[in-house]
Structure 1
Amino acid sequence: MKLKLGILDQSPTIEGGSALQALNNSIDLAVLADKAGFHRVVYSEHHGVEAYGSSSPEILSAVVLSKTRRIKVGTGGIMMKNYSAYKIAEWTKMLESLYPGRFILGLGKAPGGLKDAVTALNNHRPVILASQETKLEEIIRYIKEEKGIYDGLIAQPKNLTHLPEILWLGSGVQSATEAAEHGVGYSYADFMRGDHATESTETYLNKFDRNQYSPDPSLQVAVAVSVAEDLSSAQYNAYGMAYQFLQARHIQSPEALLPPETVEQRILGSEDEEEFFKILEHIITDTPENISARLQEKAEEYHTDELIILCNMFKETDRIDTYKSIILAN
């Protein structure tokens, strides 16, 4: 099965580096991915977090769209609770108008940052825990130019020739059901998977309503990957990414990517050692010769032909080599 391969880029920063360096790395990676044949690249949203350089995936998407020619580009995803449905619909329609058929609106329900960041984003007011599914419905109405909450209110620019792709991000059955019922794409975060991973994606495929936003289901699975010339190097290069996952699990703000040797010093003999290596086991680590088969297995597990690859490494050359190995193997 020929896979459609994409990139989930969190614009990772490194110890001793800068957010600007991370953003420039993201732009360079997108240009490479466009030429190499990747199907899509999407950008995550994080606030007040040292580990990631991008707080505005819609702005980064606009820059990358202007510098690429073929690849689909989008948000992976916008943290909806921090913004109005109307504003999201406006800039979505603008990017779709300027780059028809290439922009992806990925939407997530997570806060995108710890408490202080979320409070600041909401103008120091308590966050309204209203249904994010309701906000999705409102966004769809603005994009399709249907009657909404405000009678006669339009989201410019009007009269799109093509409806932008919408992806609902999630890692559970509820989010899968919501995506299916509204007829939008579903992006499942395998690197955050729980005990009912395939149940979520099967729910999406089985319940998809073809009479809603899109006539066909679109299922992407996001996986964490590290590729190197030998297996031990692939695992070692993934230490920084695994350590960030560990910090996120503990509801800590992840640090910038640390060198593998620093992570090793912190982890070995600590109370987190067992959990860290369980997280590492879930990252797909392999060699260029074997990575294609590993990715095929993952795609078959979820009954999809589209994988989104997440790769955060201390050395940018190791990250680039991983993506090059994956596209060459496919």
Structure 2
Amino acid sequence: MKLKLGILDQSPVVMGDDAASALTNSINLALFAEEAGYYSLMYAEHHGVEAYGSSSPELLAAVVLSKTKTIQVGTAGIMMRNYSAYKIAEWTKFLGTLYPERFILGLGKAPGGLKDAIMALNSHKPVVLSNMETKLEEIIHHIKEENELYGGLIAQPAHLKDLPQIVWLGSGMTSAREAAKHGVGYSFAAFMNNENGVEYTQTYLREFDTNQYTSSPSLQVAVAVSVADHIETARHNAYGMAYQFLQSRQLVSPEAVLPAEIVEQRVLGTDSEEEFFTILDRIIIETPQSVSRRLQQVSEKYNTDNVLILCNMHREENRINTYKSIIKNNK
């Protein structure tokens, strides 16, 4: 079965380079992705960290939408705790008007950065964490122009012909049930937590309310992948990405993507060694000949043909080759 393959682009900054180069790489990757036949591009949001170049996925999505013609482009995701529901609805409708049926609003509950950055985004006031689902409801009301709930307040531009797609990002049961309850898409971050993932995604599909935002469920699974001609090469190419995952798990600000030899110096013989290799083993590491079969297994496991690929590598050439190998063998 041919999969609907997408790219999750975190605009990774690599050791010795800067965010400007990372953003240029993201745009070049988008142009390649459309020409190669990828179904979607989704841009992540991070703040105050060296590792990732994009703090504004909605702006990067707008730039890429203007440079492409057919590929679906979206956010994965907007970190809702940092913005008002009204403002998110406004620019979502703006992009939905200019690029109908192409923009995807991906929303997440994670902070998107460490404490100082999140405090700065919220004018140095304590962040309210209990209203994320309420914000989702407000966004939906503003997009659907249910203005009577807000005293007639309009989120411009009004009168959209087609509702933009909404995708709720998550890695647990709560997010799966929230997505189902509100009738929006669900993107399960298997690269972050693949334990009990089938239970979560099946719950989403089973409990989806067809009378809400959309009438049918849309399930996406995001995985981390590294492909090279030899398995050991693919494994070493993934070290920098795995080390970033490790730093995030340890609540340390992730660094720029490091080459494998530096990661080994940092990890081998330390208390973090076992955890690092556990994380590395969660990454899909394959050759061009075997990667299609492995992704088909992911598709069958989660009962969806929509698979999102994350790949951060120290050498951009290796990252592009991974994406090339994946799409070339998607038949």
- Shorter-chain TM-score tier: over 0.9
Q: 1:250 offset after TM fit, Å? A: 0.3
- The separation in 1 between residues aligned to 2:151 and 2:34, in whole angstroms, is 41
Check the 8 A contact 1:142/1:148 in 2, yes or no. Answer: no
- The separation in 1 between residues aligned to 2:213 and 2:51, in whole angstroms, is 35
> Unaligned stretches of 5+ in structure 1?
none
Letter in 2 for 1:309: I
Task: Report the counterpart of residue 185 of structure 1 in structure 2.
Answer: 185
1:93-242 alignment, distance < 5 Å: 93-147=93-147, 149-193=149-193, 195-242=195-242
Check the 8 A contact 1:171/1:188 in 2, yes or no. Answer: yes
Letter in 2 for 1:19: A
% same residue: 66
1:251-266 alignment, distance < 5 Å: 251-266=251-266
- The separation in 1 between residues aligned to 2:304 and 2:87, in whole angstroms, is 32
Q: 1:198 offset after TM fit, Å? A: 1.0
Check the 8 A contact 1:138/1:148 in 2, yes or no. Answer: no
Q: 1:194 offset after TM fit, Å? A: 5.0
Task: Report the counterpart of residue 59 of structure 1 in structure 2.
Answer: 59
- The separation in 1 between residues aligned to 2:113 and 2:149, in whole angstroms, is 29
Letter in 2 for 1:329: N
Pick closer, same or farther for the CA change 1:20–1:50 going to 2, 3 Å.
Answer: same
Q: 1:284 offset after TM fit, Å? A: 0.2
TM-score, normalization by structure 1: 0.99
SS in 1 for 2:52: coil
| Aligned positions, number | 330
Letter in 2 for 1:252: V
Post-superposition Cα deviations, 1:228-264, rounded to whole Å, max 9, x if no partner, equal: 0000000000000000000000011100001111001
SS in 2 for 1:188: strand
SS in 1 for 2:104: strand
SS in 2 for 1:191: coil
Q: 1:148 offset after TM fit, Å? A: 5.3
Task: Report the counterpart of residue 40 of structure 2 in structure 1.
Answer: 40
Check the 8 A contact 1:299/1:305 in 2, yes or no. Answer: yes
Task: Report the counterpart of residue 84 of structure 1 in structure 2.
Answer: 84
Task: Report the counterpart of residue 14 of structure 1 in structure 2.
Answer: 14
TM-score, normalization by structure 2: 0.99
Post-superposition Cα deviations, 1:183-227, rounded to whole Å, max 9, x if no partner, equal: 000000000115321111011000001110011100000000000
SS in 2 for 1:192: coil
- The separation in 1 between residues aligned to 2:110 and 2:204, in whole angstroms, is 19
- The separation in 2 between residues aligned to 1:327 and 1:279, in whole angstroms, is 25
Letter in 2 for 1:83: Y
- The separation in 1 between residues aligned to 2:267 and 2:149, in whole angstroms, is 52
- The separation in 1 between residues aligned to 2:220 and 2:41, in whole angstroms, is 12
Check the 8 A contact 1:172/1:200 in 2, yes or no. Answer: yes
Letter in 1 for 2:15: E
Return 72-81 or 145-154, whichever deviates more: 145-154
Letter in 1 for 2:140: I
Q: 1:318 offset after TM fit, Å? A: 0.2
Pick closer, same or farther for the CA change 1:255–1:38 going to 2, 3 Å.
Answer: same
- The separation in 1 between residues aligned to 2:170 and 2:131, in whole angstroms, is 15
Task: Report the counterpart of residue 314 of structure 1 in structure 2.
Answer: 314
SS in 2 for 1:118: helix
SS in 1 for 2:150: coil
Q: 1:60 offset after TM fit, Å? A: 0.2
Check the 8 A contact 1:183/1:208 in 2, yes or no. Answer: yes
> Unaligned stretches of 5+ in structure 2?
none
- The separation in 2 between residues aligned to 1:92 and 1:258, in whole angstroms, is 35
SS in 1 for 2:7: strand
- The separation in 1 between residues aligned to 2:201 and 2:20, in whole angstroms, is 36
1:268-307 alignment, distance < 5 Å: 268-307=268-307
4+ runs of 1 displaced by more than 4 Å? none
Check the 8 A contact 1:141/1:148 in 2, yes or no. Answer: no
